[in-house]
Structure 1
Amino acid sequence: MLLEFVGGLLTDSLALLSDSGHMLSDTSALALSLAAIWFASRPASAKRTYGFHRFEILAALFNGVALFIIAGFIVWEAIQRMSAPPEVSGGPMMAIAAVGLLANLASAWALTRQGDVEHNVNMRSAYLHVLGDALGSVGAIAAGVLMMAFGWYIADPIISIVVSVLILRSAWLVISQTVHVLMEGTPAGIDHGEVRSALLTLSGVRDVHDLHIWTITSGLDSFSCHILVEEGVQCQDVLQRAITLIEGRFGISHATIQVESGAIRHGEITV
């Protein structure tokens, strides 16, 4: 980050300066992700019955928003430079960007080796930050080649915009995924209607209602529902078969199931 910042000032390269600014945000983002993992490991309490697992989701949301803001600033600065692009020292710019690329690739490799960047939204947001930095370094190298070979100094702001658009796409994916979790949305890969239909196939089950599936944090899904059974059916037997079905077929081990007979009456459920 420091190398690209100083190099950007010396070479007057927006691509290096933008990548340096992006790395500054990533340093904070990675620290926040690490803090989130530490908080999530703390045990639940009477006040926070789910513990601090949601802190990982909040950290991922913050990281996604930070990516969005930084990319917006880069695009704005690049547009200002489009009309009169300054002369940039392509050779030193490429050398500095190459060092940044190697550092980012090493960081990305470490994250993929040590963490679940595919399913853990917090780890994924950290990984996307590092990947965005790597793309910035690649863009800076490409801009340096074009400027040295053809004198196209406009390549510097253009490459910055292209990289920013890629960063914006990654940021939007993180933001939409975290907001979906915070809104108690059904986890990706699980079909609400399929779960209900599967429970209805159990012998003795008449109806399934008040069915909710949501995510506490990445890799930890929760489930609750009411099951109406036929008269004379062993409720505990139905309950056990339902628990086994939910865990075995849909991978949800945190399930709360209320078994009811026709005599049970409760107030109108609003959600």
Structure 2
Amino acid sequence: MHDHAPSPGGIRSAGHRRLLAISLCLTAAVMVVQIVGAILTGSLALLADAAHMFTDASALVIALIAAAVAARPPDDRRTFGYQRAEVFGALINAVILIALAGGVAVEAVGRLIDPREVEVAGGLMLVVAVVGLIANVISMWLLSRAQRTSINVRGAYLEVMGDLIGSAMVIVAAIVIVTTGWMPADALASMAIAVMIIPRAVALLREVFSVLAESAPRGTAVADIRAHLLGYEGVVGVHDVHVWQLTRGAPVFSAHVAVAPDLLAGGRSAQLLSDLQTCLAEHFDVEHSTFQIEPAEQSDCEPHHA
């Protein structure tokens, strides 16, 4: 007997897309301010942060497109729907982050090795960096809740977090330049921005590859799930257990459940099926589960893979 619990709703919601759109507007506006500020001040760090803002804007556009695609309903060819589109959007975001970090690092090292006579206007640099910091704080606040359930929004959230840290680094460099006149602080801030980006990008890539490899979601213990299922009266075996996720916040579970003959004879399999699905939903946050209920004697004849 097979049955499926309903897939989770609202993960790829219009609310998420609205938050992404607001963040995109904020990011694009601050990016323009930072580009103008970088030209007027001669600051490499401010220009690097503006480049990061440009990358953020691109990433948010990708995230919006992916979220819209993911919201499409399932069809006969894509029976799980289009939720995996979010994963590919997150993959693009991670690659952009790594490329950005490399470019910023190369330029910063070049300035430190071969310093050029560039006068950085620290005061204006500080004002522009503070504007960027405020905008990033607002964007992070807007995305903070949605990023817990969407890997795609998570990618955009990490982009904004990187920009917030970058703005903070630019502020520190600007203060150093204003108070001491030490211009290499600008290149060092650029290097710091690059160093801060890499670990987050790698972490996002690891999560993307984990989803594409159909690994069990982090924090999901298959042994614990099996133990819960075996605790139900009449269940004598659980095998061929598979747990994976379509994207962040959308885990999927399937298993064969061997039951005692008297449970089937008594017509209690439907109630057991409902109880097992409720167990997965309430204890392990798995809304989409598939069970094959079979008599114990049939289970003994089948090869067990998990």
Q: Structure 2 length as normaliser, TM-score?
A: 0.81
Query: Matched residue of 2:148: which SS?
Result: coil
Task: Show the counterpart of 2:186.
Answer: 156
Flag the 1:10–1:183 CA change in 2: closer, same or farther, 3 A: same
Identity %: 37
Unaligned runs of 5+ in 2: 1-30
Q: Which amino acid letter does the alignment assign opposite residue 128 of structure 2?
A: I
- Cα distance, 1:212 vs. partner? 0.7
Q: Distance in 1 between the 2:258 and 2:271 partners?
A: 13
Query: Matched residue of 1:39: which SS?
Result: helix
Is 2:149–2:249's contact at 8 Å kept on the other side of the alignment? yes
Is 1:85–1:153's contact at 8 Å kept on the other side of the alignment? no
- Cα distance, 1:265 vs. partner? 7.6
Does the alignment pair 1:50 with 2:85?
no
Q: Deviation string for 1:88-135 (max 9, x for gaps)?
A: 2222222222222222223223333xx512232211211121121122
Higher relative contact order (CA 8 A, sep 6+): 2
Is 2:239–2:305's contact at 8 Å kept on the other side of the alignment? no
Query: Matched residue of 2:127: which SS?
Result: helix
Q: Distance in 2 between the 1:247 and 1:90 partners?
A: 55
Is 1:82–1:154's contact at 8 Å kept on the other side of the alignment? yes
- Cα distance, 1:70 vs. partner? 0.4
Query: Matched residue of 1:8: which SS?
Result: helix
Does the alignment pair 1:185 with 2:219?
no
Query: Matched residue of 1:173: which SS?
Result: helix
Is 2:239–2:304's contact at 8 Å kept on the other side of the alignment? no
- Cα distance, 1:199 vs. partner? 1.2
Q: Distance in 1 between the 2:302 and 2:238 partners?
A: 16
Q: Distance in 2 between the 1:73 and 1:266 partners?
A: 59
Q: Deviation string for 1:126-146 (max 9, x for gaps)?
A: 112112112212211211111
Task: Show the counterpart of 1:61.
Answer: 91
Is 1:212–1:225's contact at 8 Å kept on the other side of the alignment? yes
Aligned pairs for 1:1-271 (under 5 A) are 1-86=31-116, 87=118, 88-112=120-144, 115-234=145-264, 235-261=269-295, 262-263=297-298
- Cα distance, 1:9 vs. partner? 3.2
Q: Which amino acid letter does the alignment assign opposite residue 60 of structure 1?
A: A
Query: Matched residue of 2:85: which SS?
Result: helix
- Cα distance, 1:255 vs. partner? 0.8
Q: Distance in 2 between the 1:253 and 1:109 partners?
A: 27
Q: Which moved more, 1:178-187 or 1:97-106?
A: 97-106
Unaligned runs of 5+ in 1: none
Is 1:45–1:51's contact at 8 Å kept on the other side of the alignment? yes
Aligned length: 269
Q: Distance in 2 between the 1:190 and 1:65 partners?
A: 27
Flag the 1:2–1:241 CA change in 2: closer, same or farther, 3 A: closer
Q: Distance in 1 between the 2:86 and 2:180 partners?
A: 47
Is 1:214–1:223's contact at 8 Å kept on the other side of the alignment? yes
Q: Which amino acid letter does the alignment assign opposite residue 93 of structure 1?
A: M
Task: Provide the alpha-carbon RMSD of the alignment.
Answer: 2.1
Q: Distance in 1 between the 2:272 and 2:164 partners?
A: 53
Q: Distance in 2 between the 1:119 and 1:103 partners?
A: 23
Q: Distance in 1 between the 2:173 and 2:186 partners?
A: 5
- Cα distance, 1:240 vs. partner? 3.0
